[in-house]
Amino acid sequence: MGINFRNVSFRYNKKASKPTLDNITLDIFKKSEFITILGHTGSGKSTLVQHMNALLLPDEGEVEIFGKHITKKYKDKLKDTRKKVGLVFQFPEYQLFEETVLKDIMFGPKNFGLSDQEAKSKAIEACKQVGLGEELWTRSPFTLSGGQMRRVAIAGILASEPDVLILDEPTVGLDPVGKKELLNLLEDIRINTGKTIVIISHDMNVVAKHATRVIVLNDGKVVYNGPKLPLFSDLERLRSFNLDLPDSARIAIELKEKGLIDFDELPLALEELRKHLKLNLQGAGYE
> Which distant-in-sequence residues (6+ apart) come within 8 Å of 250 by Cβ?
244
- Distance between CA atoms of residues 139 and 142, nearest Å: 8
For the chain, domain boundaries: 2-243, 245-287
User: What are the tens digits of pLDDT across the range 215-236?
Assistant: 999 999 999 999 999 999 999 9
- Give the phi and the psi of residue 9 in degrees, each rounded to 5: -130, 150
At residue 73, the pLDDT reads 72
- Does domain 2-243 fall under CATH 3.40.190.10? My reply is no
Quote the crossing angle between the two packed helices 146-158 and 116-130, to the nearest 10°: 130
- Residue 135's identity, in one-letter code, is E
Query: What is the spatial distance between Cα 47 and Cα 220, in angstroms, rounded to a whole number?
Result: 9
| β pairing state of 213-218 and 2-10 | unpaired
CA atoms within 13 A on the CB side of 72: 6
pLDDT tens readout for residues 98-138: 999 999 999 999 999 999 999 999 999 999 999 999 999 99
* Alpha-carbon distances of 241 from 31, 43, 172, 282, rounded to whole Å: 28, 10, 22, 38
Instruction: Give residue 20's pLDDT.
Output: 96
pLDDT at 173: 87
Rounded Cα distance between 276 and 127, Å, is: 40
Average pLDDT value for residue range 196-217 = 95
| pLDDT tier, 275 (very low <50, low <70, confident <90, very high otherwise) | confident
The pLDDT value given to residue 75 = 66
| CA–CA distance, 250 with 62 (Å, rounded to integer) | 40
What is the per-residue pLDDT for 31?
A: 84
The tens digit of pLDDT for each residue in 228-263 reads 999 999 999 999 999 999 999 999 889 888 887 778
pLDDT of residue 99: 94
